[in-house]
Amino acid sequence: MADTNAVPSGEVDLPRIEAAVREILTAVGEDPDREGLLDTPARVARAYAETFVGLRQTPADVLDKTFDVEHEELILVRDIEVYSTCEHHLVPFHGVAHVGYIPSASGRVTGLSKLARLVDVYAKRPQVQERLTTQIADALVEHLDAQGVIVVIEAEHLCMSMRGIRKPGARTITSAVRGQLRNTATRAEAMSLLMGK
Ligand SMILES: Nc1nc2c(ncn2[C@@H]2O[C@H](COP(=O)(O)OP(=O)(O)OP(=O)(O)O)[C@@H](O)[C@H]2O)c(=O)[nH]1
Ligand SMILES: [Zn+2]
């Protein structure tokens, strides 16, 4: 099975994406040489480079810089906007991520913005929501030695809204809980904080 954590080396092959987009336009019955579409393959290539930039990033890139704070309680950033791409249909899914952790016993914490950056490292790849959730949680355990982690993602998948079953508004909720946050009381406290109750 392919290693979904693998980081490919090298740059995005823009000319190859351009050629593929020309092919797709032709295959759906369009004329890639008509004026309105002339720049489209190059635009799509640049957009894909941005959409999948996380394939060239690692969690260490954002979590290696830490500092020590005396705080062995929950740190939670709620409502981090997420745009990712469903790996089945290559259309977006979008919503919010809530990311919380209890720092290591030595109080190793990361900057709050780094939690949002970590979400993007994994969101900017072809994804399924379950794996996105799990990867964020596991990175916090691995890189911060966090004593507990909770990640909840709520998202709408455009592959379910704009096509296929066509159910706009259906939201999928996934969670990943590690370490001390598996404890019923601690987990209930975190859940009530992240639901805003
Ligand atoms: N578990 C999971 N499923 C997803 C995710 N994103 C999309 N899917 C689902 O992936 C499935 C792919 O199903 P297939 O039957 O292979 O493809 P399809 O014929 O296009 O399916 P429909 O979307 O039902 O039309 C669909 O049920 C999608 O709703 C995700 O993040 N997690
Ligand atoms: Zn999909």
Q: What is the mean pLDDT of residues 131-136?
A: 98
Provide the pLDDT confidence category of residue 2 given band limits of 50, 70 and 90.
Answer: very low
Q: What is the mean pLDDT of residues 8-16?
A: 85
pLDDT at 1: 44
Instruction: Please state the residue numbers annotated as binding site for Zn(2+).
Output: 86, 89, 159
What the chain holds in terms of domains, given with CATH numbers, is 14-51 (1.10.286.10), 62-194 (3.30.1130.10)
Please report which ligand is nearest the Cα atom of 166: 1
pLDDT at 6 over 70: no
Q: Which segment of 69-73, 114-118, 119-123 scores lowest on mean pLDDT?
A: 69-73
Contact 170, 161 (CB under 8 A): yes
Dihedral sign, CA of 190, 193, 196, 197? positive
- Asked whether the whole model's pTM tops 0.90, one would answer yes
- Percentage of the chain with pLDDT > 70? 95
Q: What is the pLDDT of residues 88-104, one digit of tens each?
A: 999 999 999 999 999 99
Q: Tell me which residue has its CA closest to atom 21 in ligand 1.
A: 164
Q: What is the pLDDT of residues 138-158, one digit of tens each?
A: 999 999 999 999 999 999 999
Q: How far apart are CA 23 and CA 31, in angstroms?
A: 10
pLDDT at 83 over 50: yes
Residue closest to 101 by CA, chosen among 114, 90, 92: 114
Dihedral sign, CA of 103, 188, 195, 134? positive
- Of ligand 1's listed atoms, the one at least distance from the Cα of 131 is 31
Residue closest to 136 by CA, chosen among 186, 194, 127: 127
Instruction: Please state the residue numbers annotated as binding site.
Output: 86, 89, 159
130 lines ligand 1 (CB under 6 A): yes
pLDDT at 116 over 60: yes
pLDDT at 8 over 70: no
Q: Tell me which residue has its CA closest to atom 22 in ligand 1.
A: 164
Q: What is the mean pLDDT of residues 10-23?
A: 95
pLDDT at 4: 52
**What separation in Å is there between the alpha carbon of 169 and the centre of ligand 2?**
15
Q: What is the mean pLDDT of residues 22-51?
A: 98
Provide the pLDDT confidence category of residue 11 given band limits of 50, 70 and 90.
Answer: confident
The two three-digit tokens of residue 86, written as one number: 């469903």
pLDDT at 7 over 80: no
pLDDT at 189: 87
Q: Tell me which residue has its CA closest to atom 4 in ligand 1.
A: 128
pLDDT at 84: 98
